[in-house]
Structure 1
Amino acid sequence: MELWSCFYFSFEPLSQVEKMNIFLHIVDLSDPKKIWKFAEDFKQEHKLNVLVNNAGCMVNKRELTEDRLEKNFATNTLGVYILTIALIPVLEKEHDPRVITVSSGGMLVQKLNINDLQSERTAFDGTMVYAQNKRQQVVLTEHWARAHPTIHFSSMHPGWVDTPGVQRSMPGFYSRLKDRLRSAAQGADTVLWLALTPAATAQRSGCFFQDRKPVPTHLPLARTSSSLAEEEKLMEILEELAHRFK
């Protein structure tokens, strides 16, 4: 079972000093029912100003969850979808709400593929499945930005960061480039900038960022653009799957 931590930070004035309360919630983002349960409990206890979708996985062999969902898709796409839509009503109650989804530059090599979301029809390549999930996250961000104009949505590429996940999931890549990878702090820089600064919300909602700047979501001549019909179909499939497990 893949366990991921969700952190909620609450800042409350204490005289002229701000007191920071940190609440730790452990949620398995590959399990839709647990995400729905977490979100319902969260809404009863907390307010929410910023949601950062950062947890994810790259499983290099095709594995199924207890719900018979391919694990990368369940965690990186469906899990992000459910957590976000479940918490949008809470975000919409607050001033200057934001959602940041940590995607990856790997998505630039993928065109949205709605015909094989759970990697059943082709040879399984965990790296490419992960990249496809990250493309799906960018499409989700663009859709949510149009559908919920009171919330500022963004996706971003943190650069290639030296993390245990990269070491485990991409050992060859890590071995070749470990001396040039970013630190965790460097990778988190744009996330924090998007979460906290007025300059971030001066940018159009739905953009894809790298190093604090909006960048294209498609490489020149890459033919990775998808049609509106394909993107709407992705949303329909995710909505149906999400509510199947609610």
Structure 2
Amino acid sequence: MSFYRKSIWLLKGLREYTRTGYEKASKKFTSSDLEVDCTGKVYLVTGANSGIGKVSAFNFAKRGGTVYLVCRNKERGEEAQRDIIEVTNNNNVHLRILDISNIKEVIKFAKEFCENNERLDVLVNNAGCMLQNFPKTEEGLDTNFATNTLGPFVLTHALLPCLKHSDHGRVIMVSSGGMLVQKLDAKNPQLDGLSKYDGTMVYAQNKRQQIVMTVHFAQQYPEIFFSSMHPGWADTPAVRSAMPDFHRRMKDNLRTDEQGADTVVWLGIADAALKQGNGLFFQDRVPVSTHLPFASTRNSDEEEQMFMDYLNNLSATLGFTVGLHKL
């Protein structure tokens, strides 16, 4: 990462990504956008046991939606499920156990979900990780890449049969402004062969990959509303565990979980969101650029297609052929 990118991004973050940044942006929100009855709607949120995922699921449930919490940890998932049901008095909150980094399990999960649910209205790809030391999955993938990129790629494709039955199917990718410091590495998406594995930068690369994926999804499936978003710098359990030094320095200025989840909820239920263009990247309910000025992070169409072909081919080796699951 260049010194320029890091410096410009940090200044932008201090101005926009903090709690103060949210409070300033929220003055322009239309409160009636979230006055929505979600009864009859079906929501699926990955990584829903805590933080932004849990708050998003809670907001869908309190408006009457049927919510599926997709969590890796059964104990914490059950605790989140109990909390949400108790506060919302909505018993249509269901728990499903899944490790998004296990692609074969993702395929199995999506198949079973579509067999048991005719429709899915909103998919929130929120689960993520930021691990160090080039950790590998059982399938031989970089765990960060599998969780943040390939897992959501396969899950989204595999749930298309359910999403197409919604009047206004929506897919939300919970990305990160950290991707602004990274240019897509189309030739080496898993960053193999690094002399030093930096989980923070790998995470940022994965989040850049999510942005590219979202744009291509929107182009392939215009019937569905695709979006990505940045929650800002929120004081979530994931931030506290993955970035302890950053949390210690910034904890008094970090957003709450609720502030971080606000745009997820807005994208998931507001009619105003559907009036925006498909495949855009949002921050505080507003579409924003996916590149810093003069940062040289743009890719050619050919490079982006190379990356998408890589995902298609890798998915096929693990048992999922994208072409068989198109609308």
- Do both proteins adopt the same fold according to a TM-score greater than 0.5, normalized to the shorter chain? yes
Match of 1:142 among 190, 215, 227: 215
- Per-residue CA deviations over 1:192-244 (Å, capped at 9, x if unaligned) read 00000010010001100000000000010001011111111111111111121
* Contact kept in structure 2, 1:30 and 1:79, CA below 8 Å: yes
Query: Partner residue of 2:162?
Result: 90
AA in 2 matched with 1:30: S
Shift of 1:93: 1.6
Shift of 1:33: 0.3
Distance 1:116 1:176 in 2: 33
* Contact kept in structure 2, 1:209 and 1:215, CA below 8 Å: yes
Aligned to 1:140, the other structure's residue is in SS state helix
Distance 2:280 2:175 in 1: 12
* Contact kept in structure 2, 1:141 and 1:153, CA below 8 Å: yes
Distance 1:85 1:194 in 2: 19
Distance 1:5 1:233 in 2: 32
Distance 1:234 1:118 in 2: 11
Distance 2:133 2:240 in 1: 16
- Per-residue CA deviations over 1:100-145 (Å, capped at 9, x if unaligned) read 0000000000000022222222221100000000000000000011
AA in 1 matched with 2:112: D
Shift of 1:19: 5.9
Match of 1:34 among 70, 90, 105: 105
Query: Partner residue of 1:157?
Result: 230
Please show how residues 148-187 of structure 1 align to structure 2 within 5 Å: 148-187=221-260
Distance 2:278 2:97 in 1: 29
Match of 2:200 among 127, 131, 135: 127
Aligned to 1:242, the other structure's residue is in SS state helix
AA in 1 matched with 2:187: N
Shift of 1:5: 5.0
Query: Partner residue of 1:108?
Result: 180
Query: Which sections of structure 1, spanning at least 5 residues, go unmatched?
Result: 13-17
* Contact kept in structure 2, 1:4 and 1:26, CA below 8 Å: no
AA in 2 matched with 1:100: I
Match of 1:226 among 286, 299, 304: 299
Q: Percent identity?
A: 51
Match of 1:68 among 110, 116, 140: 140
- Per-residue CA deviations over 1:13-60 (Å, capped at 9, x if unaligned) read xxxxx9651111111011000000000000011120000000000002
Distance 1:19 1:72 in 2: 34
RMSD over equivalenced CA pairs, Å: 1.8
AA in 1 matched with 2:257: A
Distance 2:246 2:151 in 1: 26
Shift of 1:94: 1.2
Distance 1:61 1:35 in 2: 24
Query: Partner residue of 1:25?
Result: 96
Higher helix share: 2
Query: Partner residue of 1:15?
Result: none
Aligned to 1:63, the other structure's residue is in SS state coil
Per mean C-alpha deviation after superposition, the further-off stretch among 109-118 and 182-191 is 109-118
When the two structures are aligned, how many residues end up with a matched partner?
A: 239
Query: TM-score when scaled to structure 2?
Result: 0.70
